[in-house]
């Protein structure tokens, strides 16, 4: 987090221009007062020290563009939309992706395998903004089955979730298929069959547990990326999530907002990866957490 905070601060100072350069009507004396108000007139090292001290005290600063709103409040107000959309997208991605991958592995080189892989290739090949625009036109404008914007009810989730989940569903399906094919060909699976275990028992106790670990590894960064907001999807469907706000503050060179959202994203990513590592021990009993002394 220290490295991330330092790099973000440095990049903000390297980028040409300043937060008030687009406001041509502002007189020089007013701009000077704004610089003094936000501490931009101080030496770089002093600004850096103040910035780190504020972070240590949980103070991410005040936005320079959004009517002096606190960064933490802007993040909390916009993150709730990204969180709701992201959680639904993750659940859909895992359920559909793992199901397709399992079907493809169990029906290897058969029709279901081919169909599942064709769906996966389409999901990887078609960009999310193309899929989102197509669904808006087809199901929102022409057929008028679904609302084209917002996130206010159950129906409004369908198109954004599908557009946001398409790539992850395809990737999880391919990952699950390849992992489970490897597990199905292992010697202990042949031994389990020889002992007379049913196909369902083998699938539940051995194949699924061992084959799902690569998917769990992928879910960590996926959760961080999806939960913190998809810029494209939120912009197309008019959702005021964190991704859409991030684009706006970058365009406006709103230093406190850019650095605050970047740090927030870093925290989410670290928590997601930590939770992924911990979940290994629950999924696979062979993996245990232990200290160096025990090792």
- Domain 80-283 annotated CATH 1.10.3720.10: yes
Q: CB of 276 within 8 A of CB of 268?
A: no
Q: What is the pLDDT of residues 13-32, one digit of tens each?
A: 888 777 777 656 667 777 78
Distance CA 16, CA 9 (A): 14
Distance CA 55, CA 260 (A): 9
Q: Quote the Cα angle for 274-277-279, to 5°.
A: 110
Regarding pTM above 0.85, the answer is no
Q: What is the pLDDT of residues 238-295, one digit of tens each?
A: 888 888 888 888 888 888 898 999 899 888 888 888 888 887 777 766 666 555 555 4
Q: CB of 65 within 8 A of CB of 19?
A: yes
Q: Is the predicted pLDDT of residue 55 greater than 60, yes or no?
A: yes
Q: What is the pLDDT of residues 59-111, one digit of tens each?
A: 888 888 877 788 999 898 888 888 888 889 989 998 999 888 888 888 888 88
Tokens of 263: 């740090």
All CATH 1.10.3720.10 domain ranges in the chain, comma separated:
80-283
Q: What is the pLDDT of residues 127-185, one digit of tens each?
A: 888 888 999 999 988 988 888 888 888 888 999 999 888 888 988 988 888 888 888 88
Closest CA to 222 of 58, 131, 86: 86
Q: What share of the chain is helix, strand, coil (3-state, %, to 5)?
A: 75, 0, 25
Q: CB of 176 within 8 A of CB of 170?
A: no
Q: Is the predicted pLDDT of residue 217 greater than 60, yes or no?
A: yes
- Give the DSSP per-residue string, 97-162: HHHHHHHHHHTTTSHHHHHHHHHHHHHHHS-HHHHHHHHIIIIIIIS--S-SS--SSHHHHHHHHH
Nearest 5°: phi and psi at 236? -65, -40
């Amino acid at each position: 987090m220290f490295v991330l905070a330092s790099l973000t601060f440095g990049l903000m100072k390297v980028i040409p221009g300043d937060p008030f350069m687009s406001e041509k009507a502002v007189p020089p004396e007013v701009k000077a007062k704004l610089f003094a108000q936000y501490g931009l007139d101080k030496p770089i090292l002093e600004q850096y020290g103040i910035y780190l001290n504020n972070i240590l005290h949980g103070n991410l600063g005040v936005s320079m563009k959004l009517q002096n709103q606190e960064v933490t409040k802007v993040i909390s107000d916009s993150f709730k939309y990204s969180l709701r959309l992201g959680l639904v997208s993750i659940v859909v991605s895992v359920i559909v992706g793992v199901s397709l991958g399992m079907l493809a592995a169990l029906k290897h080189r058969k029709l279901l395998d081919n169909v599942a892989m064709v769906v996966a290739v389409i999901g990887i090949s078609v960009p999310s903004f193309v899929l989102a625009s197509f669904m808006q036109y087809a199901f929102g404008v022409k057929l008028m089955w679904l609302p084209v914007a917002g996130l206010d009810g159950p129906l409004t989730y369908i198109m954004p979730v599908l557009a946001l989940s398409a790539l992850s569903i395809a990737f999880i399906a391919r990952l699950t298929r390849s992992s489970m094919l490897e597990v199905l060909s292992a010697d202990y699976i042949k031994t389990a069959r020889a002992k007379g275990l049913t196909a369902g028992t083998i699938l539940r106790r051995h194949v699924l547990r061992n084959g799902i670990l690569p998917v769990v590894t992928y879910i960590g960064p996926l959760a961080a990326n999806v939960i913190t907001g998809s810029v494209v999807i939120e912009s197309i469907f008019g959702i005021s999530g964190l991704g859409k706000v991030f684009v706006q503050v970058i365009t406006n060179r709103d230093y406190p907002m850019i650095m605050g959202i970047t740090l927030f994203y870093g925290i989410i990513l670290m928590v997601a990866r930590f939770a992924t590592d911990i979940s290994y021990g629950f999924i696979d009993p062979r993996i245990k957490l232990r200290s160096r002394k025990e090792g």
